[in-house]
Structure 1
C-alpha cells in the first residue's frame, strides 16, 4: 500500500514532467502577447535597474516577457540566467539606451552583457565595454541558444562580441572592435550588419572557433558592410575547423588583399573554411586572397544564404503585438534605495 508521502512525491514529479514537456512544446514564432516590465532611471517605471527587472522574471519562465528600457546610461554588468528564457530587452532608440561597463581579462566573467538563457531578444540597445585597447574586453557574450539582436550597437576593442555557443541571428547591428572582435563557436547569421574595424594593422574581424568537422557552427555575413580606420583581416582560425562566409557584403579598402590569416599554424589552412560570394567594394577583390580561401560558386554558397543555417524559421519570433500587465510579484519596484 502506497504511503501519502509516496503519492505526494509522485504527484510532484508528474507535475514537473508535464511542465517541462509544456515548455519544450512552446513555439516561439506563435507567441505574440508579452508581459510588460518598464525600466526607468527616474523611478517612474517598475525598476530603475535592468538587472533588477531580469531578476524579477520567474525561473523556468514560459511566457514572453518584454522589458522596455527607457533612454539613459545604465552602468551595469548584466546577466540573463539560463533559467529565464523568452525575455526581450528593448530600448526606445539604439543610441539613447546605453548599457556600459569597464572590465577586461576573463572573456566569460568580464562581459558587460551576458546571455545564458534561450530565446532571448535584444532590440535598440547600445552595449559597450569601455576598457579600451590592449586586453580582452567583451561587450556582449551570447551563450544561450536561439538568441536574436536587432538594431543594436556592440562596442569594444578586443573580443567585442563573444558569440560563444548556440544559434544566433543579428540584423541591422553595428559591431566595432580591433582584434578578433567577433569570436566564438556559435552558428550565427549576421544580416545587414555594419562591421567597423579599429585595427591599425592586421587585426582580424572574426575568430571563429569551430573545432571539429562534426560541428554545425560558423558565421555567415549576408548583405553586410565593412569599414575601418586603417587595415584589417577578415578573420583567423581560433578553432582548427573555423568557418566564416561573407556574401553580398560591401568591403571597403580597409580589408587587406590576402583577406585571411592562419594564426601562425599552417595546418589550419587545410581544415578552415573561409569563403566569399558576390561581395563588392575595393576590399572584396579575390585575386590576391590566400590560396586556401574560397571564391564560392552559387552551389557552394547556397547553404549559407538561408535561415536554415540556424534553423531560424522554427524560433525567430516577431515583436509582440499586444502586452499585458505583469503581476505585482514581477512588476513591483524593489529598487527603492537608488
Structure 2
C-alpha cells in the first residue's frame, strides 16, 4: 500500500470496456484488446510513479484514509505490459532435448516479477500434475499440442488441477481435467466439488481448451476472461464464480460423468454481489447441450445480483424450460 497526499480526495478511474468489443480471432490480438483497459489519461498524467527495480507501479484500488489532512491511500501493483520479446520453454515427457519434463517445473523457472512473454510449448501427452501460476509470474502463455493431445489431469477436492492467480495468463490447445468424480459412483452424495481450473486473475485468455469435471468444473472466480472455441463439461454449477467473462463459439456440455447418476443439474452459478459490479457471464454463439437422463437449469443465483447472458446460442432439450433459478434472491431477476 502507498500513501499519496492530495489537496482533494476526488479521483477518477476508467477500468471498464464493452464485452462486445472483443471480436479478435487470435490469442495475441485478444490480449492486446484486454490490455486497452487502463486508467483515464487525466489520472495517468497526475499520477506520481514510484520507481521499482521490476518497473513501475500502477494504482489498482483506492480509498480515503481518515488522517489530519486529506490523504489518498491506494493499493499498488506492478505494471504488467508484457512488452519484452518472447522467451520459449519446451516441455516434453519423451523428448530429451526439451527444457523440462513437467509443466510446473517450467513455470517455477520463470523469475518472480516477470515482465516478458514466456511461451511454454507443451508436447502431447497426459501430464499428471497439479499446475499453479502464482500472482508474481504474469505473462505466461501455455500452448499444448491440441486439446485432444495434451491434457493436465489431477484428482483434488480442496484445490484445482490448474490454478492461475497471475494476470495475462493465456492457454491454447490444452485439456484440464479433475478426475476426482470419475468414474463417479451411482450414489448422489459421492459427487463433490472437484475443480478442473480456478482462474483468479485479470486479462486471461483460453483458446481451443477443454475443462472436464462434474461439480464446479470451471471456477471463473475473478477478473476479465475470454474463452474461444472451448469445451466445458460438468453437471453441477460447473461454470461458477464472479468473473467478467465472455464465452464465444464454445460447447457447454451437461453431464454427470460417463457412469454418473441421471439426475438434474445446473450449468452456471454466478456470484455478482452488487448492482455496480461489472462482472457477468456472457455466452455468445455457443452450443449448450448434454447427455440424456437429467435436465439442467441454465443457471442459478449464488448472490443477489448474479448475471448471465446467453446470446445467439443453441439450446438443446437438456435445458429445463424454466431456465433459471433465483434461489433465495427472488425479485433480482
TM-score w.r.t. length of structure 2:
0.72
Partners of 2:331 and 2:203 in 1: CA distance: 31
Matched, 1:251 2:308: no
For residue 20 of structure 1, report the CA deviation from its aligned partner. Answer: 2.2
**Structure (1 or 2) with the greater strand fraction:** 2
- Residue by residue over 1:109-144, the C-alpha shift from the partner in whole angstroms, topping out at 9 and shown as x without a partner, is x20000000000011001000111510000000001
For residue 17 of structure 1, report the CA deviation from its aligned partner. Answer: 6.6
For residue 14 of structure 1, report the CA deviation from its aligned partner. Answer: 6.5
For residue 271 of structure 1, report the CA deviation from its aligned partner. Answer: 1.7
Match of 2:101 among 42, 48, 59: 48
Matched, 1:223 2:285: yes
For residue 26 of structure 1, report the CA deviation from its aligned partner. Answer: 5.5
For 1:1-338, what aligned pairs fall within 5 Å after superposition? Answer: 15-16=51-52, 19-21=55-57, 27=81, 31=83, 33-42=85-94, 43-104=96-157, 106=158, 110-132=159-181, 133=184, 134-199=191-256, 200-230=262-292, 231-263=295-327, 265=328, 268-272=329-333
SS of match in other structure, 1:51: helix
Partners of 2:80 and 2:165 in 1: CA distance: 19
Partners of 2:254 and 2:151 in 1: CA distance: 21
1:3 aligned residue: none
Go from structure 1 to structure 2 and tell me whether the alpha carbon gap of 1:25 and 1:165 turns closer, same or farther (over 3 Å shift).
closer
SS of match in other structure, 1:196: strand
Partners of 1:124 and 1:44 in 2: CA distance: 22
Listed as ranges, the gaps of 5+ residues in structure 2 are: 1-48, 59-76, 185-190, 257-261
* Coordinate RMSD, CA, aligned: 1.9
- Residue by residue over 1:204-259, the C-alpha shift from the partner in whole angstroms, topping out at 9 and shown as x without a partner, is 10000111112110100000001101321100001111000000000111111111
Relative contact order, higher structure (CA 8 A, sep 6+)? 1
SS of match in other structure, 1:19: coil
Go from structure 1 to structure 2 and tell me whether the alpha carbon gap of 1:76 and 1:174 turns closer, same or farther (over 3 Å shift).
same
Partners of 2:108 and 2:54 in 1: CA distance: 25
| TM superposition outliers: structure 1 runs of 4+ over 4 Å | 21-28
**Structure (1 or 2) with the greater helix fraction:** 1
For residue 24 of structure 1, report the CA deviation from its aligned partner. Answer: 5.6
Listed as ranges, the gaps of 5+ residues in structure 1 are: 1-12, 273-338
- Residue by residue over 1:51-71, the C-alpha shift from the partner in whole angstroms, topping out at 9 and shown as x without a partner, is 000010011111011000011
